[in-house]
Structure 1
Amino acid sequence: MKLFKLFPLLILLLYGLKSHGEEFPFEISEIYSSSSIVNYSNQKLILIDFWATWCGPCKAATKQLEILQEELKEEVFMVSVTDESHKAVDNYMKRSPIQLMVLRDEKGTLIRKFNVQSRPYAVLLSYQGEVLWSGHPSGLSLDKLKRFARSYQHSHNPLSRLDDLFSVSQPSPPSQEVFPLEEDSEITIERIHTPLSLFSRTPGTVQYDGLLFNLIAKIYRVPKHLVTSDKHDDFYIQMKSPARIWDTNPDTLIALLSQQFNIQIIPQANPEEVFILKVIDKEKLWNSRQINWGEENTANHLISENRIQADNLTIAEFCILLSDTKKEVYKYFGEDYTRHDWDVHIHFNDLMEGELLNEFGIVRQKRKLIITRFLIQ
């Protein structure tokens, strides 16, 4: 009797688990080119790399994925997806060939399905369509992919053909849009000749006045010392942008800067030593009420010789502040996006590690990762 009563519940649970997955095949506009690394042969994991021809960091991110694809030919099948025209992809591939399979999603079907807000962006799927991981490709490592692959090593993938994964739809009329957002007209960018360094934010607008390379670092959410320029050291600009574009579509801002000032942003990816901040006791994290400098105060941090105090920063934002201050690279790969207050010693590493652990429940770990630096030309 008990088993009979439980049976409907089991059916509901199984149905609920299945509903979390995305159903293959996915509709695309074109299979532009095949992979020069590996053919599709029932790999258990599918990785989709979202990129664009106008996205500087995408080049380095795709190169990193190509290296991972070489190492995981039997476990993962990787594809690169763009929503641009055939001609735009043609021109790009002549300069910078991509070794992964390249797909065009001109209708934006996959971009909407996986809520892609900025690029580069990657989604790792099981053959059942379950999203296992998503985010910036730099957050994927060989070890992490191997761990995902191990969990599927004894299962059978029934999707035996490439068209079981991707279905080519009828082509749509070519788009003449240069940028993906209608709100571009609300963005203003101009060169200024006053050496300022200001960043302010209201609920609706972001304004930056300062050096060009510092702005690019802010847009890409990377430390300032990872962006260099051979001829723009005294190039000051002012940018005003709707906050929604600043938060969700930084690639549009980069494209506008590149076009208006005729600059190239060249990514250079190499393995480097970095420090990872990992939360091991989230109960110790400070809330955002420990420090309050007021909403009208444009500065959200105070740096002295020995300490950093910061008001209302996420862990990822604190990592960038720490990186800028110590001229080292700090990263956070967790999923805590809430804002916290901070007061941490920074001069001696052992004292800093002790305060991070005791006051915030955070450990500092040294690792070697692929880090992208940007050169402005």
Structure 2
Amino acid sequence: MNLIKYFIVLFFVSLPFSSHSQIRFSETIQGSKTATDNQASLFFVDFWATWCGPCVYATEYLEVLQKQYPNNFYVVSLSEENPDKVRRHLEKHPTDLAVSIDYNGETFNENNIRVLPYGILLNANGKILWKGSPTDFKKTNLEYYLRQHSKQKEVNKVLKIQKIKEEVFEADYIPSSDFEMKRIKNKNNETLEVSFIGDHIIYKGDLKSIIAKEKRILVDQVQVAPELNKTYEVYVKKGSSGLFSILDELKLDLFHSETKGDVIMLDISNMNYWDTQQIDWGKNTAEYLIDDSQIQGDNVTFEDVMFQLASVLNLPLVTSGAEADNEKHDWQIHHRFYNLMQSDLEDTYGIKASKEIGSFKTYTIRKKTP
């Protein structure tokens, strides 16, 4: 490997994974504002992105752990995005954690990062001890590994940045029309990326995931032939639907049918909405915080928050009894335990939820016939 091509950060990752594996950072945005020592025995790399709503919660969670263990534990949040975009994000979502850039995606690729948020824990020798969702890394896990790994190393030797050449970063693309779409070749996005620029929503992912997002349904409710399920970047003006524009652009038709199966039936005949004063995260922030037990939404519609609930439950949601409004509201819904979710929905919003065998729509995408 020609190291002259990169900014180098060395983690010597050892035996179980690779004896010479390295984690490369392109640039440091900020050092840790909480860690009080220049040495640590454990290092946690938090893989995240500005478009990833759940990453906000994961970062806040890791920030709490960092504050509890400032002397021998060091967390660095790593994004593969444009550093200017990350800096703008941090102005609105400040953190006391160290933040670095993996602009070439070297570290993301070498660690096979396909789902965000994601994290890996390493000791001072660079050996990977743990990996998974950051919110699954509990205080008890940290204490266990601290007892097992007492050797310390200076942070600037483990996280060593050597600037070899200037990187040229592309400026953020600004769409000139309400809808734009382009094919992304030689890349498969297993997680749909949703971000915002100006008054546009940006989708980056495969066609199936983009259509499911636009329809507010589960990905499994959309059927697309593999040869049509390419990866795209789509710009849609906020407040408008990009669905028919996407279909027209690709010369596709969308057919729907009814399917029987397990559903969550929601009786909304007596629904009581929260107003928009219950949660306030400020302007230009994530609409959702989703963790392993609840969904919080700041100024989102019923359709949008139910799409998030269906996604975490992995079951279609079907409403009955009334039509939901299209206004924006605040939401806080438990999802981890079904009985608690039922009582939470009914007590807070007057929504009666029951798991039943019911009918739900599925969609098939096909090429238009000549």
After TM superposition, the score normalised by the length of structure 2 is 0.49
Pick the structure with more helix per residue: 1
